[in-house]
Chains A and B, each alone.
Chain A
């Protein structure tokens, strides 16, 4: 491969990596809003004070990324923010593809000595660490997440009995896990690990 093509491929890969929510604060914020469809403003402000506390910054971001900000935050369906999230989702899928990573690793050995990362897994790791580091409920949330992963799916009553945690705390922890997109609530009220966690369960073991 020519040096010029190698350089172009390297720049292309670096640009895609830079957009990942695991590496960029802005796309991370947009992803969290997207995961929740409509995110409670107070929760978002606590997690992203830099973006939301200052009124001028908040309003500018709302216009730039077509965000609706009231007591809830959501992405306008046809706005650029939503389109950017869709694009970045495809980048995560591309870097999750083992064939793609193997080929890029073979072509760019010197540029990425440790190999190009699996961005879908990296983003999951960031979310698990983010949930675990929440000062009040983080650690308990991870314990609950492990339990849900062990049994595959669980209802609140079952978790309450199995873990000896009060319902109030349990609801707070499940809410935290939902915000980070680590569990989903099913139609019958039970909770399941997210699709990504089912693909990479070992991510939780390292926390």
Chain B
């Protein structure tokens, strides 16, 4: 990795951490469980990395199999995380809003 790329990625990291703190501290404690599961779903973004390495060049059969497992794990996170969060949000209702 050249220094330019590294610095640019560090900049992204820094801004994202800052933004994350600002936004997440505004989430009410009532929603902490779905907040956690939605962010878990977002963490399934590793899926992109898993797809890139599995579909890329130079794979041996071992890296290929490991890649498929990684895709399955990440896909579980994405699908399971978003769906269960959606299920929870549907339960949060205000009086008379039904």
**A and B interact physically:** no
Residues of chain A at the chain B interface (Cβ within 8 Å): none
